[in-house]
Amino acid sequence: MISGTRLIGMADQTYQPTLSQLRAFAAIAEHRHFGTAASRLGVSQPTLSQGLAALENGLGLQLIERSTRRVLVTAAGMRLLPQALATLEAADRFVASATGDALGGPLRMGIIPTVAPYILPGLLRPLRDRLPTLVPQIVEDQTARLLEGLRTGVLDIALLALPGDGPGLTEIPLFTEEFVLVTPPGHELAGRADLAPGVLAGLPLLLLDEGHCLRDQTMELCRTTSVDPPPAVGDTRAASLATVVQCVAGGLGVTLIPEMAVATETGRGSLDVARFAAPAPGRTIGLVFRSSSVRAPDYEHLAAIIRAHRPMGAPWQRIQATVIDTADTAGTADADGAGQP
């Protein structure tokens, strides 16, 4: 049989891969490095290589192409990787269900940078209390790379702004929050709560660097309200909200930030805020995972916990009172959300 890149032999029709062989394949595909994959699985590199070789020989396919300079996943490997990941997920869930702890063990959780610093402080301890055997592995990155991580199996779930715009992915809306205008102290708009989006026209609007979804959302807001996209303010480039906000404090311009970031970011310097009149522009944050995953019920339960421990903000609470009720699916509206505003 011809494999994706070379002739490796006929498949053994009686062959049944073992979980350790599938884990070896999945780890190598994730890390593209045999040493790193072996370390993550807690096995020696020869053991890892033997597991992959046994899998390839049994299937009659080359899944991984290895040279002295790089490791590649073949076309056959890319085709079979999602099924290997689904099999491993099913096996892990089977064991977890037998012990009564379906959300236990490592959970590779991607989070966008405009969410992670503001949601994690109030979330990690409740997760530890509610799910004591869960081991969150946090990966902070931009949306495009998180979506790619989901597709390739590097991540289990991601928290990001919806829509994720990814085929083969399932989205669970978590909450909606407003955007808030941050200004230097004494700005003519400071303290107002009746802004229209058109007020952004002509303002020196500071943006995050390319690749951040908040930048894209701000640009889209300008387009939908017939406001010309803001020109670059000098050569200012920022990779974090903290940097953008400090530039505002220094008088370089104004910026939009999500409600969850207001308390943290405006507490670091002398700043004022202004809010938009209803319906205010904003974003919806959701939990995203592969549609092929067998852990959808577990992720629904996790979503309920995240909703119950979201960062608080007055305008956000006003919006969220209805979003939580309508976003919950059957079986997830439990005590996690009881008593939350």
Q: What is the pLDDT of residues 31-57, one digit of tens each?
A: 888 998 898 888 899 999 999 999 999
Q: What is the pLDDT of residues 103-144, one digit of tens each?
A: 778 899 999 999 999 999 999 999 999 998 888 999 999 998
User: Residue 7's pLDDT is what?
Assistant: 44
Q: Does residue 338 surpass a pLDDT of 80?
A: no
Q: What is the pLDDT of residues 265-311, one digit of tens each?
A: 888 778 899 999 998 888 999 999 988 888 888 899 999 999 988 87
User: Residue 88's pLDDT is what?
Assistant: 85
Going by C-alpha positions, the residue among 128, 136, 5 that lies closest to residue 61 is 5
Residue 194 and residue 315: Cα distance in Å, rounded?
A: 13
Q: Does residue 210 surpass a pLDDT of 60?
A: yes
Cβ neighbourhood burial of 1 (10 Å; 0-12, 13-18, 19+): exposed
Q: Does residue 232 surpass a pLDDT of 80?
A: no
Question: What are the structural domains, with CATH classification, of the chain?
Answer: 19-97 (1.10.10.10), 104-171+284-315 (3.40.190.10), 176-274 (3.40.190.10)
Residues 6+ away with beta carbon under 8 Å from 62: 3, 4, 5, 6, 8, 56, 74, 76, 77
- pLDDT above 70 covers a percentage of the chain that reads 80
Mean pLDDT along residues 184-191: 89
Give bridge partners of residue 204 from the DSSP assignment.
Answer: none
- pTM, whole model, 2 decimals? 0.69
